Amino acid sequence: MVGYFAVFSIFPVLFGFTLSLTDYDLLDPPNWVGLDNFRNLLADRLFLTAFANTLIFVAGATVPVWVASLLAALLFDQIFRGRNLLKTVFFLPVLPPVVVVAVVWRMLLHPNGVVTWLAGAWRGVTEIDWLSNTVLAPLSMIVVHDWAAIPFFMLIWLAGLAGIPPELRDAAHIDGATPVQTFWHIDLPQLRSTAVLVAALSTINAFQTFTLQYVLSPDPGGPANSTLVLGLLVLKYGFQYFRMGDAAAVSAVMFAMILAVTAAQLRFNRRAS
């Protein structure tokens, strides 16, 4: 087991980091450049654009997902007719791989496609550039991501809700608490660990985004780099620009960011407990 992790986890990470300290074009031997790649990133407009785009995507792919998936879980935690069928339908977007989701949405978001018809028909608009407009394209990525992510995180919330002892709610009910008060004073504190888990997972997931931007966009990262995220920049630097050192440096930055955010969330959870 130790050997497995050494070969397939620790070594690639260490090798990747070592690579980030070199200038390597895959064709010639690597040149040792120390921390130059990291220094250069600070002045690299492409990196800064990708960094900002990633932060925007993370914001759009975490906060709304956190809230909407919790609301969905609260809804499906109630008993009503057709709940199981509706829950299954709601969960369907989680089943296909992201590539399939992206391909299907690419068709739906065609300038003259179904979404345009739904969104624009009432005011006579027949063409909307969902994926070719510098403002709409990043928004479309977030919407498609959230559409597929919300049902997944809803399941985690549902598991958390199922773990709340029913006698706590019963006691609150007997004491005359309203549903909102019950949620606020009973459910939410009990769901703290689940909340941190959802926040951590959705943040890590959002930082690592790549497939949507690569497959959904007609020009990966475009238009005008408006959907260029760090994951895509790693591919660009490594295998299109032949700058493996820079690609590894961007990966190291991503790794550090994810580590920092996750550590902060775990620390918050520990403190709150």
Partner 1 sequence: MTFRSLCRAIFTGTAIVLGLAAASPGPVCAEQVTIRMWMHEHPPRIAIDKAIIAEFEKANPDIKVDYAVIAVSEFSTKLLTAFASGSGPDLFNQSVLMVAQYYSSRVLAPIDYAAMGYADENALTSNYLTGFDGIRFAGKLYGVPTEVSNYACYLNNTIWKIAGLDPNRDFPKTWEEMPVLAEKLTVRDANGVPRRRGFDFDWPSGPAYWLTLNSMMRQRGASLIDEVAYKATFDGPDAQLVVQYLVDWVNKYKLGGPQYTDTRTDFLAGKLATDCSFGIWGIPQMHDAKIDYTVKPLPRFADAKNDNGYDAYAYYMMVNARSAPAVQKAAWKLARLYVDHAVELFTGAGLFVPRQDVMAKTADSDSQVFLTELKKAKFAPRVVGFNQVVDVLVRGRDAMMQGGQPVASVLPQENDDVNAVLKREKARAEAMLK
Assess 42 for contact with partner 1 (CB under 8 A). no
What would the two tokens of residue 178 be? 């309203």
Q: Are 131 and 216 in contact (CB under 8 A)?
A: yes
Residues 199-218 that bind partner 1 (CB under 8 A): 218
Residues 70-89 that bind partner 1 (CB under 8 A): none
Assess 222 for contact with partner 1 (CB under 8 A). yes
∠ at Cα 26 (23, 31), nearest 5°?
25
Which CB, 190 or 225, lies closer to partner 1?
A: 225
**DSSP-derived 3-state class of residue 134:** coil
Residue from 147, 241, 255, 268 touching partner 1 (CB under 8 A): that is 241
Residue from 90, 183, 242, 268 touching partner 1 (CB under 8 A): that is 242
Assess 126 for contact with partner 1 (CB under 8 A). yes
Query: Which is nearest to 151 in space by CA: 61, 224, 221, 91?
Result: 91
Residue from 17, 90, 147, 183 touching partner 1 (CB under 8 A): that is 17
Q: Are 22 and 245 in contact (CB under 8 A)?
A: yes
Assess 27 for contact with partner 1 (CB under 8 A). yes
Q: Are 254 and 207 in contact (CB under 8 A)?
A: yes
Shortest Å, Cβ 40 to partner 1? 9
Only one residue has tokens 């260490």, namely 14
Query: Which is nearest to 117 in space by CA: 217, 255, 144, 108?
Result: 108
Buried b (16+ CB within 10 A) or exposed e, 223-255: bebbbbbbbbbbbbbbeeeebbbbbbbbbbbbe
Residue from 88, 112, 181, 193 touching partner 1 (CB under 8 A): that is 112
Shortest Å, Cβ 207 to partner 1? 23
Q: Which residues bind partner 1 (CB under 8 A)?
A: 14-15, 17-18, 21-23, 25-28, 30-32, 34, 45, 111-112, 124-127, 129, 131-134, 218-219, 222-226, 236, 239-242
